[in-house]
Amino acid sequence: MAHIHLFDRTTDLLKIDLDLRSRRHMLLVSNVANQDTPGYQARDLAFKGQLARALKRPDRERLDGVRGDLTVNTDETVGNDLNTVNIEMEMEKIASNTGNYNAAASMVAWKYRMMGDAIRGEGR
């Protein structure tokens, strides 16, 4: 008897993508919130590396440990207070990350609609 897989590799990839983008958003928002904190160094998620590592893990372990791969901006000091937050750059990253998150969420919604249609016998 053949196994039926409701969730394929694409769905797994989209779940991981959404989780990583959500975590990245929190880091970027934290950078914006700390733009006036002396000595604060802007952080970001090394997204591509995290995604690649998550895809190589077995299903139950995929998202364990993806929190640790951060990049810290130590190169660009914006002010005399050693703060490295560049607000324009952070806002651009937030906008790009949000657009990518929304695109992945739309794909997930489409996949679930298609599964619902198949279950109800409504072919398109």
% of the chain exceeding 70 in pLDDT: 76
Give dist(CA 38, CA 80) in Å, integer.
9
- Give the list of residues 6+ apart from residue 15 with CB closer than 8 angstroms, or none: 108
Task: Give the domain extent around 83.
Answer: 9-120
Residue-wise pLDDT for 44-71, tens only, equals: 988 777 777 777 765 545 455 455 567 8
Residue 55, domain member (yes or no): yes
Residue 1, domain member (yes or no): no
Residue 77, domain member (yes or no): yes
Give dist(CA 11, CA 14) in Å, integer.
5
Residue type, 7: F
Residue 3, domain member (yes or no): no
Residue 49, domain member (yes or no): yes
Residue 4, domain member (yes or no): no
Residue-wise pLDDT for 74-102, tens only, equals: 666 667 788 999 999 999 999 999 999 99
Number of domains in the chain: 1
Residue 34, domain member (yes or no): yes
| Whether pLDDT at 30 is above 90 | yes
Contacts 24+ apart (CB under 8 A), 90-98: 90/28, 90/31, 90/32, 90/35, 90/42, 91/32, 93/28, 93/44, 94/25, 94/28, 94/29, 94/32, 97/21, 97/24, 97/25, 97/28, 98/25
DSSP states of 64-90: TTGGG-EEE--S---STT-----HHHH
Residue 37, domain member (yes or no): yes
